[in-house]
């Protein structure tokens, strides 16, 4: 990591971006890149060397989708979703996408700098009032995964599990490829492996296992 942590700011609102840039600059961070939509955020993360990314939940193109893609491409980058209205469901989605932090946009400036440094050191930052819901959701997810494995008789890889969940959400091959930042050929390979392991004929049958 660089002496000054390098940060990507992704927000469509110029005043918010300016405020974050000034705050981070005063707090010893180096704002290495800025973006105003999800695609630009992913491209900036891929092209630059960053330690941390702050992404607005309402980022055009999807803040959570941008988190997911960057996490897939650069798992070592710490990702923070900034939201105007925190919710338990959005927290679960953010964590599932790879966010290490889920913060309200109204967080105090001094507090934000402290939290970001803690995140870079390996900590996580989630709102306490929603952590119970997060734990319940993770337990339910693990229970579903264990049930699928028990019925199939074979363990699914993490990526196969990701693909199966998206199949259950009726995502197309192109959608899955985009959301997981992999090629459509790779998606089809994972689907073929799922069909074999689950002993089913088609994608719809595979999705039905999870439902």
Distance CA 101, CA 124 (A): 6
Distance CA 202, CA 191 (A): 9
Interval 39-79: pLDDT, tens:
999 999 998 789 999 999 999 999 998 998 899 889 899 99
Q: Which domains does the chain have, with CATH numbers?
A: 6-128 (3.40.50.2300), 154-210 (1.10.10.10)
pTM score of the predicted model:
0.70
DSSP string, 46-63: HHS--SEEEEETT-TT-H
Interval 103-155: pLDDT, tens:
888 888 888 999 999 999 999 888 776 676 666 666 666 667 666 665 666 77
Percent of the chain with pLDDT over 70: 87
Work out the pLDDT band at 80, boundaries 50, 70, 90: very high
**Which pLDDT score is estimated for 42?**
94
Structure tokens at 74: 């650069």
Distance of CA 191 to the CA centre of its chain: 22
């Amino acid at each position: 990591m660089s002496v000054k942590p390098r940060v990507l700011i992704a927000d469509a609102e110029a005043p918010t971006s300016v405020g974050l840039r000034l705050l981070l600059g005063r707090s010893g961070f180096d704002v290495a890149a800025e973006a105003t939509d999800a695609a630009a955020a992913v491209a900036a993360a891929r092209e630059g060397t960053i330690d941390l990314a702050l992404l607005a939940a309402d980022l055009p193109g999807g803040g959570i989708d941008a988190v997911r893609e960057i996490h897939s491409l650069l798992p070592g980058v710490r990702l923070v979703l900034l939201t105007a209205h925190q919710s338990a469901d959005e927290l679960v989605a953010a964590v599932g996408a790879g966010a290490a932090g889920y913060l309200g946009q109204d967080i105090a400036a001094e507090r934000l700098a402290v939290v970001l440094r803690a995140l870079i050191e390996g900590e996580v930052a989630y709102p306490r009032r929603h952590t119970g819901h997060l734990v319940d959701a993770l337990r339910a997810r693990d229970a579903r995964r264990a049930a699928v494995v028990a019925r199939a008789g074979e363990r699914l890889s993490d990526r196969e599990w990701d693909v199966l969940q998206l199949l259950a959400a009726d995502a197309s091959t192109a959608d899955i490829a985009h959301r997981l930042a992999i090629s459509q050929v790779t998606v089809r390979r994972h689907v073929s492996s799922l069909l074999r392991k689950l002993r089913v004929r088609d994608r719809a049958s595979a999705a039905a296992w999870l439902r």
